[in-house]
A and B are shown apart, each in its own frame.
Chain A
Amino acid sequence: MSQQNKANVSGNFTEDIEATIDDLFTPVKEIEIDPLTNEVKEKGMSRAAQQETPSCAPPDTSAEKGAAEEKSAGEAGMEESIDLELELDIDLEEEVSSSEAHGEQGGGIGREVIEKFSENIMSLEWEIKQETIQTALEQAREIREQGQEDTDLQGLIVPMIAMLSGMLKEPDLIPAAPIALKKGAEALKEYVEKPEGAEEVRTAAEEIRRLMDEVQEDAQPPEASEEADLVLEPVSVEEDIEQGSADVQEAGVQGAETELEIEFELEEESGAEVRDVPSPEQETPVQEQAQDVSMEQSGEIEQQVELELASAEEGHEPISSEPSEPSEASHDQTGQHGKVQQPAPVSSFQKDGTEKKDRSDDAQEMVGVPQESESVPGAQVLPSATDGELESERGESKQDAELRQQYARLSMAVEKHIHELDRLASKIAPVEKLLAKTQGMAKLYAFQKAVRSSIETEKDRLEAVLHNHSLKGEEGPQLAGPVEEAAPKISDRKDNRQVTERCPWSRLALMGLGNGKIAVPVEEMAFTGKISGRHRKKLQQETEFPLAWLKSWPWTKIAPSLSGPLAKFSEKELRGMKFPIINSEIFQVMGLEDPHEKVKNPTTVIMFDGKGKGGVLYVDTEIETSDIDEDVTWKPSMSDKGPVAGTVRLGDETITVISMRS
């Protein structure tokens, strides 16, 4: 079109339009609109246009129709109880074709089923429906069947099946489930195309397992968490603890101290882990004294172990429906050789004996189920035994495949155990801190500390094992070695972890001893002073100090010269008491050289722990007391025996603290 034409068009155009506008844009009827209701009222009708929508609101006006939201099918699942049932039904007797090369698996699993599975998982991402979950679950099972010989695939599809089963019952239990499943499906797809890319498969499997663990942790039985709270509650009542705890402490701590052993045994033939699960009946005396969180947890752990092993035996998923606990009972703090016992350290916090008993009952209940099955000797060996039998039937190649599967499960179990150990250690930490601050709790504190240290050591060792020896079938037999090392025994522990807990005592008496310096808690000092000459010489010769030496004259009473709890004993009792002279022992423990020189004018210090243990040492220096602030560095002794309780750092000196309570 030429410019001239355009101009013409424009000019005529606008004129014509304006004329049309004048024509058309005119009212054909007179109406009035109610300003409040917007109702249109006709003033005069020029047409039968009343049939047209008389209302001022056009028929398509609405912004507020209540559209029923599509309720997800997951609602039905919500009402059912949480029950993450195991869904793994690997039939151990099924013929399994051997395959070493990964390349074989790609062709072994139908691409079509993987595609359809992926589609369903994607649909789940958009909408969670029971039908979709069910279909996906069936497809996953099919994939599992088809890829039985592939460990990597099994390692992914099995947790996916568990997750889908869980979703079937409670669709929104794991919020991140659809995403994790989607990643898993994508990894599966890629793996089938490129079997060498097993890394994504493992990563996806990890993620799914982690989510399952989290949800199982959250789904701990209420009584466990309630009891955990109950345990911590009485802790805050310090006076009660002290008063009610004396006897319990003795028995409990003594029992506990000797039995802090955790053991791991492996059977090379089966490659399966064998754990000795404790029988609570054997530990009743200790149990009745105290329960703490770890006890319930050990019960749960045992349950978990049993379920896992039993399920492996029956061909079930290692992920159990019970609250997720480490699959070993190894984190129990006390244990006899080969057995695991319940710890008693927190027994002092139980004021009410009934309470304790109730908990022990609860723990027994919780442990009861697995215990029954374990009453059969070597019951724990069942899976491996079964495996062994089956293997002998099948032959070597099938054994390899089975081993790989077992190790995959073991790997999962170990990871869960590590996680659980971490959790337990963090639960013990606040109790430990409180004990550190509480007077008279030094021994308990030290014990608790030891307990936590052993848990952490165990955790570290398991982690090392897991990372260094990724539990694959071909490496199975080697597990025996490193894991045995991982068995932490308190007696063998060389844990030099620095701790900055508070010194259990607020006032220490400092004195020189030999070439070193020691500190004694002021509250434990029952006597400081010079004894009569004739006994003074004996101080450096004898090994025992009878309290009668404190009498300057035969008729002098002993008690008035004493202070603290020792002074409360009767004269008769005091006359019969003897305490070891601990100078040499201290030298030995501190690694100092015993000067063996005669101390010219020794000051005798009689120490008493408030119950019945005492010790005597003689020093030749001035004794000065020092207030110990909260921020003084305190390092408890690794050993629970002997007079050395730990060291404090005062100024630039590290001073050994001697205590009768260590």
Chain B
Amino acid sequence: MADLVLTGPLLERAKAEIDSALIKAGVRKAILIDDAGNVVASCGEKKGNIDTTSLAALAAANFGATSQMAKLIGEDDFSLLFHKGKNDSIHFARIGTDMILITIFGDDVSLGMVRLRVAQVAEAIEETFNLKSE
């Protein structure tokens, strides 16, 4: 298992990719975490005081739990992990093998659009961090 080594430029690039694909499309916040629940990068609105540390840990746990659930029902994994809220919703997507992208968006952005953009940015981030499995 390769360690995830982060450098300033790499992080900036990842953030820029997330910014242009998601934040500019109207997503409120996008948090890139590793699957242990550590925050790698956080983009989007600063206000709102979301406890990203806890969110990341829970998201990772959530993702892990649902992954296990998928296996229990004979699936490899679920392709959509999404929780709809009254005002804001949250979407989880795996990036490469080690990272998870959490997207929080309001009802002015459709899930379909988020999924589309997340798929695009996943590619870009994987390349940035060289996460593509050979």
Binding site for B on A (CB under 8 A): 60, 62-67, 69-72, 74-75, 78, 123-128, 171-172, 175-179, 182
Q: Give me the 3 closest cross-chain CB pairs, A-B, nearest first.
A: A67-B77, A178-B110, A175-B25
Nearest neighbor of A174 in chain B, beta-carbon distance: B113
For residue A176, give the distance in angstroms from its CB to the closest CB of chain B.
6
Q: Are B119 and A66 in contact (CB under 8 A)?
A: no
Which residues from chain A contact B93 at a C-beta distance below 8 Å? 69
Given the known inter-chain contacts A60-B71, A64-B97, please indicate yes or no for A72 contacting B119, CB distance below 8 A: yes
Contact B120 A66 (CB under 8 A): no
- Tell me whether B110 and A65 are in contact (CB under 8 A): no
Q: How far is the CA of A143 from the CA of B109 in the complex (A)?
A: 26
For A63, list chain B residues within 8 Å (CB).
Answer: 35, 60, 63-64, 67-68
User: Which residues from chain A contact B118 at a C-beta distance below 8 Å?
Assistant: 69
Per the bound structure, the CA–CA distance linking A176 and B25 in Å amounts to 8
- B12 in the interface (beta carbon within 8 A): no
- A178 proximity list for chain B (CB < 8 A): 110, 112-113
7 A-B contacts (beta carbon < 8 Å): A67-B70, A74-B119, A123-B112, A124-B112, A128-B113, A176-B110, A178-B110
Contact digits for B54-95, partner A, Cβ 8 Å, 1 yes 0 no: 000000100110011011100011111000000000000110
**Cβ contact within 8 Å between A175 and B26:** yes
A401 to B67, CA, bound (A): 58
Among B71, B72, B96, B122, chain A packs the most CB atoms within 10 A around the CB of B71
Q: What are the residues of chain B within 8 A of A179 when measuring CB–CB?
A: 107-110
Q: Evaluate contact between B120 and A75: CB separation under 8 angstroms.
A: yes
B9 to chain A, nearest CB (A): 25
| Contacts A67-B78, A67-B79, A179-B107 supplied; 18 other A-B pairs, CB < 8 Å | A62-B71, A64-B35, A64-B97, A66-B94, A66-B96, A66-B97, A67-B77, A69-B79, A69-B93, A69-B122, A72-B116, A74-B119, A75-B119, A75-B120, A172-B117, A176-B113, A177-B110, A179-B110
Judged by a CB distance under 8 angstroms, whether B41 is at the interface is: no
The docked-state distance in angstroms from the alpha carbon of A72 to that of B97 is 19
Q: Nearest Cβ in chain A — how far from B116, in angstroms?
A: 4
Measured in the bound complex, the distance between the Cα atoms of B94 and A64 in whole Å is 9
A60 surroundings in chain B (CB, below 8 A): 68, 71-72
Closest A residue, CB atoms, query B109: A175
Contact yes or no, B67 A62, CB < 8 A: yes
Question: B11 — which chain A residues lie within 8 A by C-beta?
Answer: none
Is the Cβ of B120 less than 8 Å from the Cβ of A176?
no
Q: Which residues of A contact B96 (CB under 8 A)?
A: 66
Chain B residues packing against A (C-beta within 8 Å): 24-26, 35, 60, 63-64, 67-68, 70-72, 76-80, 93-94, 96-98, 107-113, 115-120, 122, 133
Q: A69-B93, A172-B25, A176-B109 are in contact. Are A74 and B116 (CB under 8 A)?
A: yes
From DSSP, what is the main secondary structure of chain A's interface residues?
loop
The binding surface of chain B is classed by DSSP as helix
**With A72-B115, A128-B115 in contact, is A67–B64 under 8 Å at CB?**
no
> Across the interface, do A176 and B108 meet the contact criterion of CB distance under 8 Å?
yes
Given contacts A64-B98, A124-B110, A176-B108, is CB(A70)–CB(B133) below 8 Å? no
Measured in the bound complex, the distance between the Cα atoms of B94 and A123 in whole Å is 22
A95 to B97, CA, bound (A): 60
* Partner among B71, B72, B79 whose Cβ is within 8 Å of the Cβ of A70: B79
Determine the chain A residues whose CB is within 8 A of the CB of B63 once the complex forms: 63
Per the bound structure, the CA–CA distance linking A72 and B115 in Å amounts to 7
Neighbour of A126 across the interface among B64, B76, B77, B111, CB < 8 A: B111
Residues of B within 8 A of A62 (CB): 67-68, 71
A64–B77 Cα distance when bound, in Å, is: 10
Chain B residues whose CB sits within 8 angstroms of the CB of A171 once the complex forms: 116
A182 to B110, CA, bound (A): 9
Which residues of the other chain, A, contact B117 by a CB distance below 8 angstroms? 172, 175
Q: Which of B26, B70, B94, B122 contacts A176 (CB 8 A)?
A: B26
Determine the distance from Cα of A176 to Cα of B112 in the docked complex, in whole angstroms: 10
CA of A127 to CA of B122 in the docked complex: distance in angstroms?
16
In angstroms, Cα B112 to Cα A457, docked, is 43
CB-CB < 8 A to A78: which residues of B?
Answer: 120
Contact partners of B133 in chain A: CB under 8 A:
66
- Chain A contacts for B97, CB-based, 8 A: 64-66
Q: Which of B113, B119, B120 has the most CB of A within 10 A?
A: B113
Complexed CA–CA distance, A128 and B120 (Å)? 13
Q: Which of A63, A65, A67, A182 is most buried by chain B, counting CB atoms within 10 A of its CB?
A: A67
> Which B residues are CB-close (under 8 A) to A126?
110-112, 115
Which chain B residue shows the least CB distance to A181? B110
